[in-house]
Each structure stands twice: as structure tokens, then as C-alpha cells.
Amino acid sequence: MHIALKMSCASVSATSMLRPISGNMMAAAQQHRKKRSLAIRKTDAMNHAERQNGTVLDQIWMQGDPSSFLNLSTSENQTKSENNQNLGVIEEDENLNYLEKDPLIEKNDGNKTLNIKIKQKPEERENERISRQPSEFREEENSVVLRLNIGGVPFFVLVEALLHADPSTFLTKFVQLSHRAKLKVADAFLLPERAYYFQRSPLAFEAVFQYYANGVVHKPPELCPSAFSAELEFWRVPTSYIGACCSDSVSPLERLLESSKEDKVDDTSFEKLRFGQFRRRMWTFLERPGSSMQAKVFELSSTMFVMISVLGLSFGTIPDFQVIEYVSSGNQTIMLPNGTEIIQEDIEPIRIEHPIFVFTERVCIAFFTIEYLLRLFAAPRKLRFVLKPLNLVDLLAIMPFYLELMLTLMGVDDKKLRDLRWAFLVVRILRVLRVIRIIKLGRFSSGLQTFGMTLQRSQKQLQMMTIVLLTGVVFFSTMIYFLEKDEKGSPFTSIPAAYWWCIVTMTTVGYGDVVPATTMGKIIASAAIMSGVLVLALPITIIVDNFIKVAQEEQQTEQFKAELLAMEEQERQLQQEQEQRRLKFNQSQKEILINNREENRGNNEDNQLISGKQPLIFVSNA
């Protein structure tokens, strides 16, 4: 065999010597050598494709084998002794083999001992590795913490915290698996530490650990934004949990993809609900105005009702649009000179809203109530729907009317409000809260949403400005009080009374209703003005920069939305074309079957005629 191999090599070398070597062949060989010497730079997408942790986890989760899951309890009423027992140090057994080795066979070859590795299938090797695990590691139903080792750094996460987190995250699903199933998902199991090993960045995992500990994700400053996004994608932590201070690390495309994933989750969650198809259509109609022309008309109608309600509330306070109603304010006893007592009823004229504005208010409240109830009925997740900020605004917009109606049903009407100061104060507060309805326009106005996101991103700057401004107000108010309190007719009667003057001065408004009289007071006022200019000017540039960033991201998001809609439309058209082709193919197959049946039927008739079963024909001689 070796001789044949040498002969073949010699023949190949001989034939290669006969072929002339050109310059192009030399250049190609050098280029091929350079390509072999260069290392391949793998992207995050390539690494995710090679690492099958999430894929294996999804496969186990979709199979739903009861033996692959643990019976975990989320109760918080565990005794202290149980916690100490679960958290205590487990003594190591000297008989346990803590090294993971493949099976070896020792073979004596004279004076040498050779270790020959047995070739096994991956399934057999995995089952044998699991079977060699100690029995106490196979089930962890009573464990309080999940032991992890991320890139060589140990992490301990409470099982209860994992179970109360978002159910779609990687570790929330991972902790519910049995030990055998966890070994298939994890990269390795470290017996000395009794921890599941994942070959990931421990620095990036700090953000994931913060999410399970505090419910908020913060990006480490040393981490690249793309690596941070890749780590969140691997551990399946939604970007919606990223804190406002770190929201710049998420691109608009990732936010859009995350929102589209949430929409898809909502769509799939309707399948298990009662009246699922009907509620899905209603949810799409109410929450996605761009889904149809009818949804756009409903959005416009809701906006008009909000505007009518706010305008009615405003115009109802104009005296020319109000009506006068005479209300009894009590009885007065009058004593005449002859000793006769006369009880006289005091009637006081008051101005109330015109009945037209009252009727308009009730119609708008009825529309807002029906809209909110329809949204609540169609929502797949009730609690998540109620806790959304815009939905809380919708609830606060209709709540004052029903609370005022409840007071009226309790017998506390407008005529008795002046006698009951607490009820009068409550009704006034409820009427003031009606102006919250204007915030409902934020649901349909992209400008208001941009402004809200700008304020959210500028929380640190606004907090700094508020703290410095309050410090200046207290300082300058104290100074002006002690300098002006001895002056005759001084308006600065106390330090809190000087707060108004100081706020107006530091914000450079300057009403002029309260002014200092002494020279030192004017100097302090000048210092307050200059301090206010500095305090307000510094954060404004940062806030404007945040506004520009948010506006640009909104513009990019709109472009991404248009591209996604175009891609979805193309996919829908391709599906329709495939469906039409399938229908045409089925129709052609049916026609072919029908033609074959007719041909077979004709052939059978011809065979019957040929076999002599045709009818006899008699011909007369006449």
C-alpha cells in the first residue's frame, strides 16, 4: 500500500513538472497562502449561530417533557432553617470524581501503557456524562439559588427572583429545567463549584444580573454598545427594561424590532383566550391606527372628542356663557320692634355652567368610558394594560366625573357643598383634574411623545437644575429676609414669604410686585439674577441636544417602520402568489384526474363493444 502511494505521488509530481508554471499561477498560490494565514473575524451573528444554547432551550421547552422540568415553588413562607439548609455548604465526598473525562482504555504494550480513546456517538457520550453525575446534582427542586459560572466568574441568582422576572428571558426558562435538561443547554457543569458554566463575558452579564436583582438594566461604561446589545439578545432580556440613563445605548432599529416582537407576542397570546379572534381584531382596530381606514377614522374621532371636552371645560368658565342660579344659603331670623320674630331665607345668586356644556361633558365622558372599556376587554394582558402611562391618563380623565357623581348620589349636591368644606374641596380638585384629558392627545401626537422622551432622557439634568435652584432660593431668601425685615412696610415678613420673590428673580421673570428697598438687598437681588441665569442656561444646551437626538431617532424609526411595512407587504404578496400557485396546481391536478377518469370510462366502453356485447342490428329484405 505504501508503494502504491509513493508511485501515485511520483506520477503526480511527474505530470506537474510537465505543466509550465505561469506568473498568474504563482500569484494565485501566494494569495491562497495569505488567505490561509489570515484569521477569520467572526461577527456577533456568526457567534450566535454557532452557539446553540438558546436553540436547545427552545427545543426542550417546546417538547414539554415533564421529566425535563422541576416542580419549583414561588412561595415566600419558607422557614429560616430550610433556607440555612439550602444555602449551607455541602461537604465534598472524596469518592466523587470531579474531573470530566472521556472514557479511556489502558492497554499494555510491552513496557508502555497506552491510553486509547473510545469513539462514541455524541448522544451516548452525553448520556454517560450525565449518568456519572452524583445523584444530589440531578434534581434541584429545593435549591434557593441558581449557581452560574459566567466566563470563570461565579454568580448566584435567587430562584424566586428568576421566577418573578419576565417569563421570556433565558434564565427564567433555564431555572425551571431539570438537571439533565440544564446540562444539555449549558456549555459545561463544574462539579467543584456545582455551577452551570456559560462561556460569555462576565462584565456584560453584570447588566443581566442587575435586571434580576433590581428589575432595571444598566449598561456598564466599559462595554461596547454592540456587545451590550448582543449580550441582552443572548440572555433574551427585552430592551424595554433598560434604564432611562442608559437608553442611548439602544438604537432606534432595536427599539422598533423589540416593539414589533412585543406586538407579535400580543398577537400569539390571543389564541388561548376566549373570543380570541374577535379580541385580536378589536385590539388591532383600537391600538394600531394605521392598520385600516376605519381605525384612522376612530383615531380622528377620539382626538376630536378630546378637543371638544377641553374646549367645553374652558369656555364653560366664561361668565357670558354661564347662567345664574339662585341658591339658598341659609335662614336668617329678624326681630321686629314689637317683639315678633321673622325667619327670612337668604338667597344667593351663583353662576354655573350652561346646560349645553354639561351635556357635552356627559357625551364626551360616555365616549371615553366606552373606549377605555373596549380597550380593557380586548387587551390580552389586563394588568400590563392598566399600568401603562397613557392608559392611566385615560383612567384619570374619566375618574373625576364618576367620583363627583358618587358624591351627588350620596346626597352631597352643589347646594350643600358650601356647608361641607371637605366635599367642596374634593369637588374642586376633581374638576381641576379634568384638564388631564389634554394629555390623551399624546397617544396620537408624535410631537408630544418626542417631548416626553426628551424629558425622560434629561432626568439627570433636570434634577441637577432643580436641586441647584432650590439651594439658591433658600440661600437668597434667607439673605434678603434678614436685610429687609426691619424696613417699614417690608413685604419680606418671613423666609417662606421671600421664596416667591426669589423664584421670580432667579428665573429672570421679574414681576416687580415685591422689590428690595435697601442697598444690600439690591446687591443680593443682582447676585440672585446672575445665579439664576447660570443655573438655567447650563442644562438647557444638554436638553436641546437630547431633543435633537430624540427627533432624529424618531425620524429613523419612521423610516424603519416604512421599510418593515414594505417587507411585510412583499412577504404577504409572496404568500398570496404561493397560495394562488398552489390553488392552480390543485385545480390542474383535479382536471387531470377528471380527464383520466373520462378516458378510462371511454376505454371501458370501447372494450365492451370489442368484446361482442354490442347490440344486434336486424336488416329487413324489404
pLDDT 10s digits, 338-387? 777 777 777 777 788 888 988 998 898 899 999 999 999 988 888 888 88
* Apex 348 CA angle, 342 and 353, nearest 5: 155
pLDDT of 137? 46
Mean pLDDT, rounded, for 7-12: 38
Over residues 385-398, the pLDDT tens digits come to: 888 888 888 888 88
464 and 440 together in one domain:
no
Cβ–Cβ under 8 Å, residues 228 and 207: yes
Q: Is residue 11 part of a domain?
A: no
HSE, side-chain direction, 13 A CA sphere, residue 307: 8
Q: Is residue 429 part of a domain?
A: yes
Q: What residue numbers bound the domain in which 554 lies?
A: 457-583
pLDDT of 403? 80
Residue 414 pLDDT greater than 60, yes or no: no
479 and 500 together in one domain:
yes
Over residues 154-169, the pLDDT tens digits come to: 999 988 888 888 888 8
296 and 423 together in one domain:
yes
Q: Between 562 and 591, where is the model more confident?
A: 591
pLDDT of 108? 39
Q: Percent of the chain at pLDDT above 90?
A: 10
Q: Is residue 468 part of a domain?
A: yes
Q: Where would I find the H helices in 141-251?
A: 159-163, 170-174, 179-185, 202-214, 225-235
Q: Percent of the chain at pLDDT above 70?
A: 66
Looking up residue 532, the CATH number of its domain turns out to be: 1.10.287.70
Quickly state the pLDDT bin for 555 (edges 50, 70, 90): confident
415 and 536 together in one domain:
no
pLDDT of 99? 37
464 and 563 together in one domain:
yes
Quickly state the pLDDT bin for 139 (edges 50, 70, 90): very low
Measured CA to CA, the distance from residue 607 to residue 592 in angstroms comes to: 22
Over residues 576-604, the pLDDT tens digits come to: 888 888 888 888 888 888 888 888 877 77
What are the E-state strand segments in 208-340?
322-335
pLDDT of 296? 86
Quickly state the pLDDT bin for 513 (edges 50, 70, 90): confident
Q: Is residue 167 part of a domain?
A: yes
pLDDT of 263? 54
Residue 330 pLDDT greater than 70, yes or no: no
Q: Is residue 8 part of a domain?
A: no
Quickly state the pLDDT bin for 204 (edges 50, 70, 90): confident
Quickly state the pLDDT bin for 486 (edges 50, 70, 90): confident
CA-CA distances (angstroms) from residue 497 to 3, 449, 477? 110, 37, 8
Looking up residue 365, the CATH number of its domain turns out to be: 1.20.120.350
Q: Is residue 43 part of a domain?
A: no
402 and 478 together in one domain:
no
pLDDT of 373? 93
Q: Between 258 and 335, where is the model more confident?
A: 335
Looking up residue 235, the CATH number of its domain turns out to be: 3.30.710.10
301 and 439 together in one domain:
yes
538 and 402 together in one domain:
no
Over residues 243-259, the pLDDT tens digits come to: 767 766 555 555 555 55
Of 324, 318, 321, nearest to 350 by C-alpha is 324
> Considering the entire predicted model, what is its pTM?
0.48
Cβ–Cβ under 8 Å, residues 185 and 236: no
Q: Is residue 272 part of a domain?
A: no
pLDDT of 529? 92
Measured CA to CA, the distance from residue 121 to residue 114 in angstroms comes to: 22
Name residues whose C-beta falls within 8 Å of residue 520's C-beta, 6 or more positions apart in sequence: 483
Mean pLDDT, rounded, for 313-333: 79
171 and 241 together in one domain:
yes
Quickly state the pLDDT bin for 114 (edges 50, 70, 90): very low
205 and 311 together in one domain:
no
440 and 479 together in one domain:
no
Residue 150 pLDDT greater than 90, yes or no: yes
- Residue ending a domain, among 193, 222, 250, is 250
pLDDT of 140? 52
CA torsion sign for 339, 340, 345, 346 is negative
Q: How many domains does the chain have?
A: 3
Q: Is residue 397 part of a domain?
A: yes
440 and 462 together in one domain:
no
Q: Report the chain's mean pLDDT, rounded to a whole number.
A: 73
Can you read off the three cell numbers belonging to residue 384? 400590563
DSSP-derived secondary structure letter, 22? P
